[in-house]
Amino acid sequence: MNQLDDDIVKVLFTPEMIQERIAELGQEISDRYTDSVPLLVGVLKGCALFMAHLIQQVHIPLEIDFMAVLSYEGRQQSNGTTRIIKDLDFVIEGRDIILVEGIVDTGMTLGYILRNLQARQPRSIRLCTLLDKPARRIIKLPVDFKGFEIPDRFVVGYGLDFNQLYRNLPYVGILKDDVTGLNRQRQKTW
Ligand code: IMP
Ligand code: MG
């Protein structure tokens, strides 16, 4: 039990469900890269737990790097303004890149990073996200490796935050309306 459990209205994915899906994703990635060492680029901080577990399920040589961007500036939704606050350590020209995200919502954050990295002329870039909220997508993105699709609700846990909290929950759950004041205004499909 965690004190934060009380703020969760519904658990969507238990730690076991997450691990099971990550094992499958790890296999898909292992099968896809046969002639190169991919560089997995995690988008901080939401990717942290996912990245840690995912790389242990990829059974080919790989490297990791991280990036951090600020896209929300205190809001709960993107407004299109994004800037890099931590850039990659490595040069990626000619490399096979896998961008690893915790969740894709409007797609603005990942779209921005994708354009930025493409300009550095990698050999390929594929997208990997644990969670995908397709209902709110504004920027169309090809997601190559996807853990789960989720409905249009604000979720936390397993690295994902609300105002920086809840990242330490081992599961993914929907936050109560009175915590966010957000889900109330959204379509209840779950
Ligand atoms: P996008 O730019 O709208 O795709 O937003 C992506 C970012 O928004 C993610 O990296 C998360 O940091 C955050 N985000 C979007 N939806 C949620 C959610 O339901 N829970 C927690 N964070 C979210
Ligand atoms: Mg966040």
**Long-range interactions of 176-184: CB distance < 8 A, separation 24+:** 176/7, 176/8, 176/9, 177/9, 179/7, 180/76, 180/154, 182/76, 182/154, 183/153, 183/154
The distance from CA 176 to its chain's CA centroid, rounded to whole angstroms, is 21
pTM for the full model?
0.92
For residue 71, what pLDDT band results from cuts at 50, 70 and 90? confident
pLDDT on residue 75: 57
Residue 183 Cβ < 6 Å to ligand 1: no
For residue 82, what pLDDT band results from cuts at 50, 70 and 90? confident
Would the pLDDT of 176 be above 70?
yes
Domains of the chain are: 3-32+43-180 (3.40.50.2020)
Distance separating alpha carbons of residues 151 and 103, to the nearest angstrom: 12
In this prediction, residues 28-33 reach a mean pLDDT of 98
Cβ 147 vs Cβ 21: under 8 Å: yes
Residue 180 gets which letter from DSSP? H
For residue 84, what pLDDT band results from cuts at 50, 70 and 90? very high
pLDDT on residue 169: 98
Question: Which residue numbers are catalytic?
Answer: 105
Would the pLDDT of 30 be above 80?
yes
Tokens for 86, please give them. Answer: 């931590």
In this prediction, residues 158-180 reach a mean pLDDT of 95
Residue 172 Cβ < 6 Å to ligand 1: no
